Structure 1
Amino acid sequence: MIEHSARRSAAILPKNKLFLLFRIGAERYALEATEVAEVLPRLVLKPIAQAPQWVAGVFAHRGTIVPVIDLSALTFGHSAQARTSTRLVLVHYRLGGDRPVQWLGLILEQATDTLRCSPHEFKAYGLDNPQAPYLGPVREDEHGLLQWIRVQDLLSDAVRELLFPERPISLGPVEAMP
Structure 2
Amino acid sequence: MSSTELVPASGTASQAAARVDGRQFLTFRIGGEEYGLDILRVQEIRSYEAPTRVAHAPPFVKGVVNLRGVIVPILDLRIRLSQPSEYNGFTVVIVLNVAGRVVGIVVDSVSDVLELAASEIKPRPEVPAAIDSRFMTGLCKIGERMLILLDIEAMIKSPDFGLVD
Range class of TM-score, shorter chain: 0.7 to 0.9
* Aligned-residue RMSD, C-alpha: 2.6
Structure 1 residues 65 and 111, CA gap change in structure 2 (3 angstroms): same
1:9-48 Cα shifts (integer Å, max 9, x gaps): x69x962222111111111101111110111111220122
Cα separation, 2, equivalents of 1:74 and 1:64:
24
- TM-score, length basis structure 1: 0.72
Identity over aligned pairs, percent: 24
Shift >6 Å, 4+ stretches: none
Residue identity in the other structure for 1:159:
F
- TM-score, length basis structure 2: 0.77
**What are structure 2's unaligned runs of at least 5 residues?**
1-13
Deviation at 1:128, TM superposition (A): 5.7
Aligned to 2:66: 60
Contact 1:135 1:149 in 2 (8 A): yes
1:116-173 Cα shifts (integer Å, max 9, x gaps): 221442212331669723233110122231001111111323633xx35x6xxxxxxx
1:74-121 Cα shifts (integer Å, max 9, x gaps): 112x43432322211111111xxxxxx210100011114221221442
Aligned to 2:54, the other structure's residue is in SS state coil
Aligned match for 2:33, one of 12, 27, 33: 27
**What are structure 1's unaligned runs of at least 5 residues?**
1-6, 95-100, 167-178
Cα separation, 2, equivalents of 1:20 and 1:126:
21
Contact 1:36 1:91 in 2 (8 A): yes
Of stretches 127-136 and 36-45 in structure 1, the one that deviates more from structure 2 is 127-136
Aligned pairs for 1:29-108 within 5 A: 29-76=35-82, 78-94=83-99, 101-108=100-107
Aligned length: 147
Aligned to 1:53, the other structure's residue is in SS state coil
Aligned to 1:124: 123
